[in-house]
Structure 1
Amino acid sequence: MSQKVVVFSQIDREILMKLEQRYQVVQINPKNGDVNQQILEASRDADGMIGAGRVLNERNLKHAEKLKVISSVSVGYDNYDVGYLNQKNIWLAHTPHVLTETTADLAFALLMSAARKVPSLDAWTKHGQWSRTAGPDQFGVDIYGKTLGIIGLGHIGAAIARRGFHGFNMNVLYHSRREKIETAEQFKAEFCTLNELLSRSDFVVVAVDLNAESRALIGAKELQLMQPHAVLVNIARGSVVDEQALIQALKNRSIFAAGLDVYEKEPLQQSELFQLDNAVTLPHVGSATAQTRKRMVELAYKNLVDALEGRQPQYCVKSA
């Protein structure tokens, strides 16, 4: 009898067909009712699961006695109870590295859009307000030669630093849990405390994993340390930044602007952020190119197959 795989989100059609040729496949569909209940029932005799964007924990996996692997089509894994999965000897695989460059591209797109007021000026132009030469209300801030502060110098953080250093002649500062001497040397990046980075940077990019240490890392106190012309970019996780404190800082113009791809609650349907002309808001699309999403799901498929055939997946998450 073939092994059973639960597909708990939409995935690439070609990969789905490959799964169906190899395994007994059950797809979770929100149109069929409560998703958690579907997962609870479908995982009861499942050998593997693949997908993204669902919270998976003891509540909806408590009957999953045969489950060997959850293969997430993502880099982040804060949706999963890693401790519980390790306790149950269930591999949690993910897809790091393949989205590094794409996400770094988006971080710089947000940085530049916020700095030069691209969305608000686009709307200003389209709404027929360009009846005179652009004045101070339309002015942005310069990027070239400025100071770029990166919180989290992992793969994505380093890719952002490379763009700033080589492309825009930026002075690079970074803060992380430990010094990254070899990586930092490539960009002449200076390791500093969080407070020092915030106070010295013209642009602050948040690129850390979400964990107990990074949750609400940037709050009202930290935002007050930033310069009035500074721009904050968050491509990490929404909960790393206190959203209400950020909204207040943007309203007060205590910072110049923010570029956001992630939020405390997703999908975000209503928010004061949408009313602010100095907030650039995207719908969590850091990896959203056809090429990158294809590479991610291919890697997730490989991780799944490896686990179901008795091999340890290439990219496994371990609990702290």
Structure 2
Amino acid sequence: MRPKVFIAKKVPKEVEDYIDQYCDYDTWNGSGLIPRNELLKVIGNSDGLLTNREYINQELLDSAPRLRVVSNISVGYNNFDLGAMKSRGIIGTNTPTVLDDTVADLVLGLMIATARRIPELDRFVKAGQWRGVVGEELFGTDVHHRTIGIIGMGRIGECIAERAKFGFKMRILYCNRTRKVDVENRMGVEHCSMEQLLQESDFVVLMTPLTPKTVNIMSDREFNLMKRSAIFINASRGETVNENALIKALAEGKISGAGLDVYSKEPIEPHNPLLGMQNVVTIPHIGSATAQTRFDMAMLAAENLVRALMGKEPPNLVPELRESVK
């Protein structure tokens, strides 16, 4: 009997066709994300689940007694209740590597957009306010030859460092759970404490995964350590930042600006003070949002799912759930 799969979000036809070669499947055909109560109703006879945001907890597992594999279309897997999944022997997978360059491109774009005030000046021109020579009040900040501090030197962090070093000739500081001597030798980046990174960087880029230890890793103390001229960039997860502390730092001029792809609550609420700040660039969690990268992520997630359901170790097994593979 072929395994049964539920696809909880819209994916390209090629991805469905690939799954169809090995599994029977149902898919959510509604707009947006499938409502939680609807998913709990339809997942009961599924052996595998393809998703990217659905919280995989005891409630969902109780509604899916046959479930063996959950494949995330995401590099992150903070939607996995690892304890609950371990207790059931559920295999979990993610989609690293295929989005590294795309996210790194976006981070550099956020840095340039914030430093050179591109969205603000775009609005200035379109509002008909450009009537002569641009004065100092609209000047931006250079990116080249400045110091960038990267908090979290994973694969994406390395891609950011490469662009900053060889494209913009920047000095690169980093802090990470483990020191990356090979990266230091290859690119001349400098390992340091988080305190030194915050004090010396012109751009602080947060790229750490979301874990219990990284929740609010940037808060009042950290923003107070930054240069008043520094710019903060977050393309990790919104919960890694104490958003009230960030708003306070920006409002009081403790830092110069921020470029944000993620927020403590998403979609961002319309009354959030960040939306009224000219020195903040806000984009809607689009780190991996190009057509090619999203296709590659969906296909990799499908390959992970099928391989696990066929009784083989998937290429991108979540490390904490490795013992679930028999």
Partner of 1:150: helix, strand, or coil? Answer: strand
In the alignment, which residue of structure 2 is the partner of 1:44?
44
Contact 1:44–1:64 (Cα < 8 Å) also in 2: yes
Cα distance in 2 for partners of 1:220, 1:191 equals 23
Partner of 2:63: helix, strand, or coil? Answer: coil
For structure 1, which segment, 14-23 or 240-249, has the greater mean C-alpha deviation from structure 2 after superposition?
Answer: 14-23
Distance of aligned partners of 1:32 and 1:230 in 2 relative to their CA distance in 1, 3 Å threshold = closer
In the alignment, which residue of structure 1 is the partner of 2:296?
295
Contact 1:9–1:53 (Cα < 8 Å) also in 2: no
Distance of aligned partners of 1:62 and 1:163 in 2 relative to their CA distance in 1, 3 Å threshold = same
Cα distance in 2 for partners of 1:115, 1:12 equals 37
In the alignment, which residue of structure 1 is the partner of 2:99?
99
Cα distance in 2 for partners of 1:66, 1:318 equals 22
Does residue 199 in structure 1 map to residue 205 in structure 2? no
Partner of 1:9: helix, strand, or coil? Answer: coil
In the alignment, which residue of structure 2 is the partner of 1:71?
71
Q: CA deviation at 1:33?
A: 10
CA RMSD, Structure 1 to Structure 2 (Å): 1.8
Cα distance in 1 for partners of 2:47, 2:56 equals 15
In the alignment, which residue of structure 1 is the partner of 2:167?
167
Cα distance in 1 for partners of 2:33, 2:100 equals 35
TM-score (norm 2): 0.94
Does residue 212 in structure 1 map to residue 212 in structure 2? yes
Q: For this pair of structures, how many residues does the alignment match?
A: 320
In the alignment, which residue of structure 2 is the partner of 1:310?
311
TM-score (norm 1): 0.95
Q: CA deviation at 1:30?
A: 5.8
Contact 2:149–2:173 (Cα < 8 Å) also in 1: yes
For structure 1, which segment, 259-268 or 106-115, has the greater mean C-alpha deviation from structure 2 after superposition?
Answer: 259-268
Partner of 2:159: helix, strand, or coil? Answer: helix
Does residue 281 in structure 1 map to residue 282 in structure 2? yes
Cα distance in 2 for partners of 1:272, 1:261 equals 15
Distance of aligned partners of 1:311 and 1:252 in 2 relative to their CA distance in 1, 3 Å threshold = same
CA offsets 1:3-51 (integer angstroms, 9 cap, x no match): 2111112222321243345433222356699722222222222110002
Matches within 5 A, 1:13-52: 13-20=13-20, 22-28=22-28, 35-52=35-52
For structure 1, which segment, 175-184 or 203-212, has the greater mean C-alpha deviation from structure 2 after superposition?
Answer: 175-184
Cα distance in 1 for partners of 2:28, 2:247 equals 36
Partner of 1:50: helix, strand, or coil? Answer: strand
CA offsets 1:257-283 (integer angstroms, 9 cap, x no match): 111111111122422111111111111
In the alignment, which residue of structure 1 is the partner of 2:324?
none
**What amino acid maps onto 2:286 in structure 1?**
V
Partner of 2:149: helix, strand, or coil? Answer: strand
Cα distance in 2 for partners of 1:158, 1:141 equals 24
For structure 1, which segment, 221-230 or 35-44, has the greater mean C-alpha deviation from structure 2 after superposition?
Answer: 35-44
Cα distance in 1 for partners of 2:160, 2:235 equals 11
Cα distance in 1 for partners of 2:29, 2:288 equals 23
Distance of aligned partners of 1:53 and 1:32 in 2 relative to their CA distance in 1, 3 Å threshold = closer
Contact 1:37–1:60 (Cα < 8 Å) also in 2: no
Does residue 127 in structure 1 map to residue 114 in structure 2? no
Q: After the TM superposition, which parts of structure 1 deviate over 6 Å for at least 4 consecutive aligned residues?
A: 31-34
Contact 1:235–1:261 (Cα < 8 Å) also in 2: yes
Cα distance in 2 for partners of 1:83, 1:266 equals 25
In the alignment, which residue of structure 2 is the partner of 1:185?
185
For structure 1, which segment, 43-52 or 18-27, has the greater mean C-alpha deviation from structure 2 after superposition?
Answer: 18-27
Partner of 2:85: helix, strand, or coil? Answer: helix
Contact 1:36–1:60 (Cα < 8 Å) also in 2: no
Cα distance in 2 for partners of 1:259, 1:185 equals 29
Unaligned runs of 5+ residues in structure 2 are 322-326
Distance of aligned partners of 1:112 and 1:30 in 2 relative to their CA distance in 1, 3 Å threshold = same
For structure 1, which segment, 302-311 or 16-25, has the greater mean C-alpha deviation from structure 2 after superposition?
Answer: 16-25
**What amino acid maps onto 1:251 in structure 2?**
A
For structure 1, which segment, 126-135 or 11-20, has the greater mean C-alpha deviation from structure 2 after superposition?
Answer: 11-20
Cα distance in 2 for partners of 1:254, 1:30 equals 45
Cα distance in 1 for partners of 2:234, 2:199 equals 17
Cα distance in 1 for partners of 2:303, 2:227 equals 46
Partner of 2:44: helix, strand, or coil? Answer: helix
Q: CA deviation at 1:87?
A: 1.7
